[in-house]
């Protein structure tokens, strides 16, 4: 009886794990289950507040940022040095949006991006709460996923801290309950996430937000990571 | 004044500015250039320094601020045609330190006057933002955006409301933060008279005080932390930034006498262990991560900090930091002028006689810049880009500072 109960328990646990793993993601994507997660922070910039419980539907998200070579399949006129074919592409928001649509995907909302980066436990970085240089692709010369250690987020995404910034679909607006005025709020700037190889360590925190003009990125290196809805 | 006119015209008519650009960039021989005499590499050091000094004051002077990059020719203009400006506080603070060391040797009122004017420019970098304690990276006297705002650095230019007719570049970094306390601190120590000492102390009080009030962050007009402005104990930041913040607080406490800076210094040490964190400012391995650019900020911080600290335990920790740098510096090639300064700083801080004949020759061979020609992509009003070939000058401020620093500490002989 004891053995039977143990086996039953194991079976139930296995079924639960399978259920949590969800549907098989398309190639190059990972699955993020529906549900609540901790969004925002109490210690970052004023626009990260208030820290809140947010929720998303289940979705798939790209494991890696889109590369130069992948983007060139969408836009054959896009040129890049051959040795950088596997580096993250740097594009404007409309280019990113067009690429996502062409790929049958879309750009993530801020909520989706943040959940994919930090999971449910409110961690500071995709790998946890302690910073380490070796976890980050700091050098634009490096290809995607080339950090020395612990590169993946809780759901298996690479380079969500550092490498290039990543476009979201959202305009830069205050979170509900945020009362700190910002003249940049509205529908002029899009939000980019994840920091890049050219900013201080705090910018690669999972809750950090930064605003940029969608079509004038200047020298901000902003790239693409797409999501796909689950039917 | 010309570039102001040129810029305004650029926005009124596409063709007129191009004519002016061509006139100035492609036909420099039509105009008498303001300072056009270069030293020879074989000239003695003191002659090279004197001539580069003329080039810097003549061609790079922007109301006392020293421009890091000017596009030639200035052709006798009041202000240079400016290229990238994000790092102007580096040469500005280097020239301020240079003239402070020089004045300490010569006691010549003309040297002090130039130092005062450079210091006033740093005050103007604060005034132009309209926010007490918020210092700009650079400024230009213009009512409309200049062409290079769209090309160089981030889109962080603002029209000044406190100084009509000026535009300023925001998003100050930890590097420029270091330039300010290093330059102003050196000026206060060696050159400023009583009135200027008071102004220098008040500036650092406002500037560093604002950072302390914002939980050790450099924040911009929008209230967000700047891209490189993180010294915050609650946020992950580079070890170098811990060192820079300790040095800034030490200098500010020293020259203002305000206890809050001493309290902040010891809070960061006692509660957040910045004294331990700073030891690893120098990344030694993997070897390809070594960064001499960061070493420069560490060298300036350690130079200011170690001369003011008298706690032997803290001095030991700062020395450990210096030793990690020395591991790399002892065999460093003199690839740029700040490399040479690292060794001078090491000698001043440790008293060790590390200057071999070869290294002394490196000092004698110091050089400022060569005038280069390159192609600039000039954005046009219609959205197109015009390629224009022009001469340009970088900065010799580090070399000039090195020279007067070395002279002041007896490392450089005036006959060299």
Chain B contact for A201 (CB, 8 A cutoff) = yes
Question: Which residue of B222, B230, B289 is in closest CB contact with A202?
Answer: B230
C-alpha distances in Å from residue B278, one per residue of A22, B68, B294, B308, B310: 46, 29, 13, 17, 17
B236 contacts in chain A (CB < 8 Å): 124, 131, 201-202, 205
CATH number of B2-408: 1.50.10.20
The C-alpha angle with vertex A224 and arms to A218 and A229, in degrees rounded to 5, equals 145
- Per-residue tens of pLDDT for chain B, all 416 residues: 333 333 333 333 333 344 444 444 444 444 456 788 999 999 999 999 999 999 999 999 999 999 999 987 556 677 788 888 999 999 999 999 999 999 999 999 999 999 999 999 999 999 999 999 999 999 999 999 888 887 777 789 999 999 999 999 999 999 999 999 999 999 999 999 999 999 999 999 999 999 999 999 999 999 999 999 999 999 999 999 999 999 999 999 999 999 999 999 999 999 999 999 999 999 998 888 889 999 999 999 999 999 999 999 999 999 999 999 999 999 888 777 778 999 999 999 999 999 999 999 999 999 999 988 988 888 888 888 888 888 899 999 999 999 999 999 999 999 99
Name the band, by pLDDT with cuts 50, 70 and 90, for residue A2: low
Chain A contact for B230 (CB, 8 A cutoff) = yes
Q: Do B236 and A219 touch (CB under 8 A)?
A: no
Chain A contact for B155 (CB, 8 A cutoff) = yes
Q: Are B299 and B342 in contact (CB under 8 A)?
A: yes
The residue of A186, A200, A202, A209 whose CB has the most chain B CBs within 10 angstroms, and thus the best one to mutate to test that interface, is: A200
Instruction: Kindly identify which residue of chain B lies nearest to residue A218, measuring between CA atoms.
Output: B154
pLDDT for residue B90: 97
Question: Which residue of B153, B238, B289 is in closest CB contact with A200?
Answer: B238
Boundaries of every domain in chain B: 2-408
Chain A contact for B221 (CB, 8 A cutoff) = no
The C-alpha angle with vertex A146 and arms to A216 and A59, in degrees rounded to 5, equals 65
Question: Is the model more confident about A1 or about B85?
Answer: B85
Q: Do A202 and B236 touch (CB under 8 A)?
A: yes
- A37 Cβ partners below 8 Å, 6+ apart? A53, A54, A55, A56, A114, A115, A118, A119, A120, A122
- B312 Cβ partners below 8 Å, 6+ apart? none
Q: Which A residues in the span 96-125 are in contact with B, Cβ-Cβ below 8 Å?
A: 124
Q: Where are the alpha helices (DSSP H) in B134-229?
A: 174-190, 194-213
Q: Are B275 and B317 in contact (CB under 8 A)?
A: yes
Question: Which residue of B223, B224, B230 is in closest CB contact with A200?
Answer: B230
Q: Average the pLDDT over each of A34-48, A51-65, B311-325, B383-397 and give the range with the smallest value.
A: B383-397
Instruction: Kindly identify which residue of chain B lies nearest to residue A43, measuring between CA atoms.
Output: B234
B234 contacts in chain A (CB < 8 Å): 43
Q: Do B227 and A199 touch (CB under 8 A)?
A: yes
Give the integer Cα–Cα distance in Å for A204 and B177.
Answer: 22
Chain A contact for B222 (CB, 8 A cutoff) = yes
pLDDT at A5 over 60: no
Question: Which residue of B227, B241, B289 is in closest CB contact with A203?
Answer: B227
Structure token pair of residue A111: 């909520």
pLDDT for residue B334: 78
- Residue B285 Rama label (left phi>0; alpha psi -120 to 50; beta): beta
Chain A contact for B234 (CB, 8 A cutoff) = yes
Q: Do A182 and B222 touch (CB under 8 A)?
A: yes
Q: What is the mean pLDDT of residues A25-49?
A: 97
Q: Do B227 and A200 touch (CB under 8 A)?
A: yes
| Number of cross-chain residue pairs from A and B with Cβ atoms under 8 Å apart | 54
Q: Are B80 and B58 in contact (CB under 8 A)?
A: no
Question: Which residue of A45, A133, A213 is in closest CB contact with B225?
Answer: A45
Q: Are B144 and B157 in contact (CB under 8 A)?
A: no
User: Given the DSSP bridges, would you call strands B225-230 and B372-379 parallel, antiparallel or unpaired?
Assistant: unpaired
Q: How many CB atoms neighbour CB A37 within 10 A?
A: 20
Q: Which DSSP symbol is given to B67?
A: P
ipTM value greater than 0.90? no
Give the integer Cα–Cα distance in Å for B374 and B170.
Answer: 27
> Among the CATH numbers 3.40.50.720, 3.20.80.10, 3.90.1580.10, 3.30.70.270, which is that of A28-229?
3.90.1580.10
The residue of B227, B232, B285 whose CB has the most chain A CBs within 10 angstroms, and thus the best one to mutate to test that interface, is: B227
Distance from CA of B248 to the nearest CA of A (A): 19
Structure token pair of residue B30: 């039509």
What is the residue-averaged pLDDT of chain A? 89
Phi, psi of A31 (to 5 degrees): -95, 135
Q: Do B235 and A202 touch (CB under 8 A)?
A: yes
A126-166 pLDDT, tens digit per residue, is 999 998 888 887 665 567 777 776 678 999 999 999 999 99
Instruction: Kindly identify which residue of chain A lies nearest to residue B156, measuring between CA atoms.
Output: A218
pLDDT for residue B386: 87
Give the integer Cα–Cα distance in Å for B276 and B317.
Answer: 7
Chain A contact for B169 (CB, 8 A cutoff) = no
Task: Say whether the peptide bond before residue B259 is cis (omega within 30 degrees of 0).
Answer: no
pLDDT for residue A14: 43
Q: Which DSSP symbol is given to B378?
A: E
Chain A contact for B242 (CB, 8 A cutoff) = no
- If DSSP codes are grouped into helix, strand and coil, which group holds residue B226? strand
Boundaries of every domain in chain A: 28-229
Q: Are B225 and A45 in contact (CB under 8 A)?
A: yes
């Amino acid at each position: 009886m004891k053995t039977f109960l143990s086996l039953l328990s194991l079976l139930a646990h296995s079924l639960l794990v399978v259920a949590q793993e969800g549907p098989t993601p398309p190639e190059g994507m990972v699955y993020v289950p529906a549900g609540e997660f901790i969004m925002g922070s109490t210690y970052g910039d004023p626009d990260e507040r208030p820290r809140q419980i947010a929720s998303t539907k289940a979705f798939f998200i790209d494991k890696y940022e889109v590369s130069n070579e992948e983007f060139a399949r969408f836009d054959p006129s896009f040129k890049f040095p051959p040795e950088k074919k596997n580096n993250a592409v740097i594009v404007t928001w409309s280019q990113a949006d067009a690429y996502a649509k062409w790929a049958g995907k879309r750009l993530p909302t801020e909520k989706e991006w943040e959940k994919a980066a930090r999971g449910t436990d409110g961690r500071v970085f995709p790998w946890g709460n302690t910073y380490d240089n070796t976890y980050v692709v700091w050098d634009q010369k490096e290809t995607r996923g080339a950090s020395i250690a612990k590169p993946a987020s809780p759901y298996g995404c690479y380079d969500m801290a550092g490498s290039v910034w990543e476009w979201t679909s959202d305009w830069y607006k205050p979170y509900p309950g945020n009362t700190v005025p910002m003249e940049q709020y509205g529908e002029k700037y899009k939000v980019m996430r994840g920091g890049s190889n050219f900013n201080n360590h705090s910018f690669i925190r999972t809750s950090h937000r930064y605003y940029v003009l969608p079509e004038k990125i200047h020298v901000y290196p902003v790239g693409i990571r797409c999501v796909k809805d689950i039917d | 004044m010309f570039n102001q006119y040129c810029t305004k015209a650029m926005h009124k008519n596409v063709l007129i500015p191009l004519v002016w650009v061509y006139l100035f960039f492609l036909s420099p021989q039509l105009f008498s250039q303001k300072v056009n005499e270069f030293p020879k590499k074989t000239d003695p050091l003191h002659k090279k320094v004197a001539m580069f000094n003329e080039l810097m004051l003549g061609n790079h002077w922007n109301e006392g601020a020293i421009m890091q990059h000017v596009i030639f020719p200035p052709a006798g203009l009041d202000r240079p045609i400016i290229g990238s400006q994000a790092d102007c506080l580096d040469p500005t603070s280097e020239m301020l330190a240079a003239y402070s060391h020089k004045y300490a040797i010569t006691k010549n009122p003309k040297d002090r006057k130039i130092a005062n004017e450079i210091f006033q420019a740093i005050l103007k970098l604060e005034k132009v933002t309209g926010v007490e304690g918020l210092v700009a990276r650079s400024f230009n006297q213009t009512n409309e955006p200049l062409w290079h705002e769209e090309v160089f650095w981030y889109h962080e230019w603002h029209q000044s409301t406190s100084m009509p007719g000026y535009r300023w570049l925001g998003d100050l970094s930890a590097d420029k933060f270091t330039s300010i306390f290093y330059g102003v601190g050196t000026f206060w120590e060696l050159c400023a008279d009583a009135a200027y000492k008071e102004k220098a102390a008040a500036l650092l009080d406002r500037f560093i005080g604002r950072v302390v009030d914002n939980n050790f962050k450099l924040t911009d007009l929008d209230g967000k932390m700047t891209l490189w402005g993180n010294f915050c104990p609650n946020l992950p930041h580079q070890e170098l930034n811990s060192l820079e913040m300790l040095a800034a607080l030490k200098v500010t406490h020293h020259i203002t006498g305000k206890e809050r800076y001493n309290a902040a210094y010891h809070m960061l040490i006692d509660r957040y262990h910045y004294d331990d964190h700073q030891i690893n400012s120098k990344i030694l391995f993997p070897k390809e991560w070594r960064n001499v650019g960061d070493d420069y900020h560490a060298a300036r911080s350690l130079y200011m900090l170690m001369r003011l600290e008298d706690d032997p335990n803290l001095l030991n920790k700062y020395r450990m930091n210096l030793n990690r740098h020395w591991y790399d510096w002892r065999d460093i090639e003199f690839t740029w002028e700040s490399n040479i300064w690292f060794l001078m700083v090491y000698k001043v801080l440790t008293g060790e006689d590390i200057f071999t004949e070869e290294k002394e020759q490196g000092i004698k061979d110091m050089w400022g810049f060569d005038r280069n020609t390159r192609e600039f992509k000039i954005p046009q009003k219609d959205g197109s880009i015009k390629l224009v070939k022009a001469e340009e000058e970088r900065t010799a401020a580090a070399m000039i500072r090195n020279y007067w620093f070395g002279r002041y500490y007896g490392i450089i002989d005036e006959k060299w």
